[in-house]
Amino acid sequence: MTALVLGHKNPDTDSIVSAISAANLYRERGIDAVAAAQGAPAPETAFVLKQFGLEAPEVVTSVAGKDVYLVDYSDLAQAPADFSGCKLLGIVDHHKLGDVTSDCPLECWIQPVGCCNTILKLMYDYFGVKVPEKIAGAMLCAILSDTVLFKSPTCTDADRKAAAELAEIAGVKDVEALGMEMFKAKSNLNASPRDLIFRDFKDFDMSGKKVGIGQLELISLAMVTPELKAELKAELARVKAEGRHTAILVLTDIMKEGSELLVVSDAEDTVRKALNADANSWMAGVMSRKKQVVPPLQLAFKA
Amino acid sequence: MTALVLGHKNPDTDSIVSAISAANLYRERGIDAVAAAQGAPAPETAFVLKQFGLEAPEVVTSVAGKDVYLVDYSDLAQAPADFSGCKLLGIVDHHKLGDVTSDCPLECWIQPVGCCNTILKLMYDYFGVKVPEKIAGAMLCAILSDTVLFKSPTCTDADRKAAAELAEIAGVKDVEALGMEMFKAKSNLNASPRDLIFRDFKDFDMSGKKVGIGQLELISLAMVTPELKAELKAELARVKAEGRHTAILVLTDIMKEGSELLVVSDAEDTVRKALNADANSWMAGVMSRKKQVVPPLQLAFKA
C-alpha cells in the first residue's frame, strides 16, 4: 500500500515541503510513499513551489485504512478526523510531543530545531541520499520561513548549517533576497479575514481548554489597516464562538521583530499577562508561536 | 539541573542499560544527565551489571520538577505517577508510540528495531562518541536479551549489526555463550509468584481496558512445576482484581521458541482467540510481547 506523507491542517510552507521532501526520501529508501496535504498551498507556499518548479501535494482529508507518515506535527487536533483508523508508521517533527499514538513500533525523528526540513536534511545525510536540486530549494525556503530569515529564537545552528548546504545544492546565491521575495508573497492580505486567520492556524488542548492560535507574518504591520484589524477582531470572535475557550491571532512584524496580539478569550487578562503584551498589545521580540506563545500559555492555563 | 534518564516500571535489562548508556552519551554531548531506574535490577540485569563491572542506577520513583529523558517507553502507565509535573526533554524508544506528551520541543529517537540499545549505538555513531568498553558489553547483553539471542521476530539487521560492533568493542569473543549464561541467570525462579509476575510486567490501555502483561523468559518451561504454575495462576487472579480487565503472564521457552499463556480476564475467550493459543495454552513461535502479543490484543479489544 502506498503510504501517505501528511502535513498538518492549515498547511504552511514547512508542512507542505516536508511532505514532498520526506516522501522523496522514503521512496529513495525503498518505501512506497507519496506526499499529501490537508489543504491547498497558502500564498507563500505557492510562491515557493512555483519558484522551484514543484507540484502541490494531493489534498487528503481522510486517512482511515491508510498507512501514514506525519510531518511537522504530532497532535491529533491537527490530524484528519478519522486518524485513529490509520496505521501510523512514522513522524518527523520539531514541535513539542503531541497526543498522537501508534499501534505498532514506528520511526520518529523529532528534534528541537527551527524547521522540520532541517531534520529532513539530517535524515538525507544519515541515509546517504542526495537531495534533488528543486527539493533543496524548497527545503531552504521552508527553513527561511520557519526561522523568519534566521531571526526567530527557534533558529539553531543546525538550521543555519542545513540552509547553507541546501542553498549550495539548489544553486541559490542570494539567500536573503530569496527570503525577502518569499515573505513579500506571504504578506499578501488579499483574502477574507477568515482566510487570513486560518492561513496558519493551530488548535491546542491546554489543560482541557481549546485554544486556537493563528499567526500572520508580515513585512510590516503598517499593511494592516485599522479597518482590516477591526474585521479580523470581529472574525476572531466568531472563531472563538465555534467551541473554543480562546482564539488568538498573532500579527508578526518580521522586520521590527515583534508581534501584535489580537485575542478573544474567556480569560483575556490571563492571556495578555502570560504573553507580556503591553498596553498597545505589542509583544516585543515575539516571533515564534511555538517557542514564545504556546509554552507560556500552556503554563498559564495549567495554573 | 541534572536531568534524569529514566527507564520504565519493572525495569528489564534493556531499560536499565539504556539509562546507563544514554546518560553517558548525553554527558559526552555536554548535557548534565544521570541514569535512573524505577526499581532494582532483576536477576538477569544483576548478572549483566556484575559481568561488566557497572553499578545499578539510582532508584527514582518521583520526577515532579525534574528534567527527564525517557528510555525504552513512551507510555504514561509506565512512568512515575507524578510524570505530568516533570519537563520531558527526550525519548529513545523502540516500542509503539504511547501517550506521553511534552510542553516543549524535545528530541525523540524512536525506531522499529529489536532493542533500545541498538538505537543508542546508532546515536553514539551519529554523534561520533566512542562507547566505553564496559557499557558496550552491557548494551550487547541488552540486545541479546530483547531479541532472545536474535531469535525474536522483533530482531532486525540493525540489531545484529549493533551487537557485532558492541561485542568487538567489549572484547566478547563468544556472544552465544554470554547470552546463554545471561538467560540462565534470568531463568531464576527463586522469588514469590507476585515478584515473578511483575519481574517484566507492563500495563496497557486497550480501548479503555487496563490490560497487564507479564513475561518470563526461561531456558525451559520444564522449570515451571505444576505447583508453581497453580500459584502463578492464583496470583494472576489477584493482579487482575486490582483494577485490571485482563492480567496475562506469558511463559516463554526460549529454546523451544514458543510461549505458554496464563490469563485471567473478563474476556478470556477473546484473549485466547486473539493470541491463537492451542488447547494446552501453547502459542507456537510467540517470543515477543511487543510484536506478537500486544498488537493482536489491541486489535481484538478495538473490535
Same domain as B159, residue B19: yes
Taking all residues of chain A, what is their mean pLDDT, rounded to a whole number? 96
Question: What's the pLDDT at A302?
Answer: 87
Q: Do A106 and B96 touch (CB under 8 A)?
A: yes
Question: What's the pLDDT at A51?
Answer: 98
Q: Do A99 and B101 touch (CB under 8 A)?
A: yes
Per-residue confidence at A69, pLDDT binned at 50, 70, 90?
very high
Q: Is B225 exposed, middle or buried (0-12, 13-18, 19+ CB in 10 A)?
A: exposed
Distance, CA of B30 to CA of B32 (rounded, Å) = 6
**From residue A285, how far is each of A98, A254, A289, B58, B154 by CA, in Å?**
26, 10, 12, 42, 49
Q: Is the pLDDT of residue A303 over 80?
A: no
Where a domain ends, among B133, B150, B184? B184
Supply the DSSP string of B61-79, one letter for each residue: ---TT-EEEEES---GGGS
Distance, CA of B9 to CA of A193 (rounded, Å) = 51
Same domain as B236, residue B176: no
Q: Is the pLDDT of residue B303 over 80?
A: no
Chain B residues lying within 8 Å of A98, measured CB to CB: 101
The 8 Å CB, 24+ separation contacts for A63-68 are A63/A4, A63/A6, A66/A1, A66/A3, A66/A4, A67/A1, A67/A2, A67/A3, A67/A4, A68/A3, A68/A4, A68/A5, A68/A6
Whether this prediction's pTM lies above 0.80 is answered by: yes
Q: Do A105 and B94 touch (CB under 8 A)?
A: yes
Where a domain ends, among B146, B166, B184? B184
Radius of gyration of chain A (CA): 19
Percent of chain B predicted with pLDDT > 90? 97
What is the interface pTM, i.e. ipTM, of the complex? 0.87
Where a domain ends, among B136, B154, B184? B184
- What number is the average pLDDT over the span B146-159? 95
Same domain as B213, residue B166: no
Same domain as A293, residue A147: no
Q: Is the pLDDT of residue B291 over 90?
A: no
Same domain as A180, residue A85: yes
> Is residue B289 within 8 angstroms of chain A, CB to CB?
no
**From residue B52, how far is each of A84, B135, B140, B144, B172 by CA, in Å?**
44, 7, 11, 15, 11
Q: Do B103 and A291 touch (CB under 8 A)?
A: no
Radius of gyration of chain B (CA): 19
Locate cell 495454552: which residue? B281
Question: For residues B66 and B3, is the Cβ–Cβ distance under 8 A?
Answer: yes
Same domain as A34, residue A144: yes
Find all residues with CB under 8 Å of A203, minimum gap 6, and list them: A77, A78, A210, A211, A212, A213, A244
Interface test mutation site (partner B, options A26, A68, A103, max chain B beta carbons within 10 A): A103
The answer to which of A168-172, A199-203, B174-178 has the lowest mean pLDDT is: A199-203
- Helix A43-51 to helix A13-28 angle, to the nearest 10 degrees? 40
- What number is the average pLDDT over the span A138-158? 96
- Residue B124 is part of which domain span? 3-184
Taking all residues of chain B, what is their mean pLDDT, rounded to a whole number? 96
Q: Is the pLDDT of residue A166 over 90?
A: yes
Chain A residues lying within 8 Å of B126, measured CB to CB: 126
Closest CA to B106 of A5, A208, A109: A109
Same domain as B163, residue B73: yes
Neighbours of A143 (CB within 10 A): 31
Locate cell 515478584: which residue? B195
Same domain as B175, residue B261: no
To the nearest whole angstrom, how far is the Cα of B88 from the nearest Cα of chain A?
Answer: 9
**Looking at residue A26, which CATH number applies to its domain?**
3.90.1640.10
Closest CA to B63 of B114, B105, B20, B1: B1
Interface test mutation site (partner A, options B83, B97, B126, B292, max chain A beta carbons within 10 A): B97
Q: Is the pLDDT of residue A234 over 90?
A: yes
Find all residues with CB under 8 Å of A37, minimum gap 6, and list them: A6, A7, A11, A15, A16, A19, A56, A57, A58, A59, A60
Neighbours of A33 (CB within 10 A): 24
Distance, CA of B55 to CA of A121 (rounded, Å) = 39
> Is residue A84 within 8 angstroms of chain B, CB to CB?
no
Same domain as A81, residue A229: no
- What number is the average pLDDT over the span A274-283? 96
- What number is the average pLDDT over the span A229-244? 98
Closest CA to A199 of A190, A209, A211, A210: A190
**Looking at residue A227, which CATH number applies to its domain?**
3.10.310.20
Which candidate from A107, A111, A295 shows the least CB-CB separation from B104? A295
Q: Is the pLDDT of residue B76 over 90?
A: yes
Q: Do B96 and A100 touch (CB under 8 A)?
A: no
Which chain B residue shows the shortest CA-CA distance from A104? B96
Per-residue confidence at A177, pLDDT binned at 50, 70, 90?
very high
Interface test mutation site (partner B, options A83, A92, A104, A118, max chain B beta carbons within 10 A): A104
Q: Is the pLDDT of residue A98 over 90?
A: yes
Q: Is the pLDDT of residue A34 over 90?
A: yes
Which chain B residue shows the shortest CA-CA distance from A154? B105
**From residue B227, how far is each of A242, B169, B208, B224, B234 by CA, in Å?**
63, 44, 34, 8, 11
Same domain as A260, residue A202: yes
Question: What's the pLDDT at B274?
Answer: 97
Report the number of distinct structural domains present in chain B: 2
Question: For residues A212 and A289, is the Cβ–Cβ distance under 8 A?
Answer: no
Same domain as B80, residue B122: yes
Same domain as A245, residue A172: no
